[in-house]
Structure 1
Amino acid sequence: MQDEAFFDETEQLEEASSAPTDTAARKRAWRLRINYRFIVQHTPYILFLSGLALVYIANIHYTEKKIWDINRLDKEIRELKWDYISRKSDLMYNSKMSEVSDKVSGQGLKPLNTPPQKIEVEKK
């Protein structure tokens, strides 16, 4: 038993001593296999993933552009809404009876003290 264990250990040591040269050769073979064979075999898959990445990037750019447009339009709507409210407020103020009478008093017009009269025309 002990002899078998001794022989197993010596075999492992011999394999370990020859392993660095064998490992280097395996690494080189692996690199070559990755470089050429892997790329050639997986070219369609790599192209598909590249296409998906391009579509993903384009989609992100398109979405960001739409968000910028939405924000710009939202700001413009708020500005137009405030402009509408301010113009409406000015119109309401300027259409008051006192404001109208002040503006036309320079032209010789003055407010009526008597109510308007209805004119009736007889049909013949």
Structure 2
Amino acid sequence: MVMPLLVSIVDDDESVRESLPDLIKEFGFAVLAFASAQEFLTSSSLPRTHCLILDVAMPGMSGPELQKELIRRGYRIPIIFITAHGDAREQAHLLSSGAVECLLKPFSEAQLLKALSAALPFDQA
């Protein structure tokens, strides 16, 4: 049996951490949610994560700061940023920094599926 790919969510918004995993599980992935960048960095899930859905603005370490820390540590995890406060310039900057996608909250199921398709090999899901 093939294990489903792990998608980790890092968002300080509890409602996102509660609702988004259900949707991603419907797409056939395993999902874990974390309330902070630090919580994710210290978890045993870090090396098993195939894709990271990451809030841009969080207390403590921001999403872009976590992205830089992961690169510094040698992790090349595809990142889909999500933000409630994005503008076109910020989105362009995040994409040029290596993100797969930057979705504005609230985003549609179709937008999320398209971003996950770009980040992950769906035939293994």
Band the TM-score falls in, shorter-chain normalisation: under 0.3
| TM value normalised by structure 2 | 0.13
| TM value normalised by structure 1 | 0.13
Greater relative CO, 1 or 2 (CA 8 Å, sep 6+): 2
Greater Cα radius of gyration, structure 1 or 2? 1
Q: Which has the higher helix share?
A: 1
Q: Which has the higher strand share?
A: 2
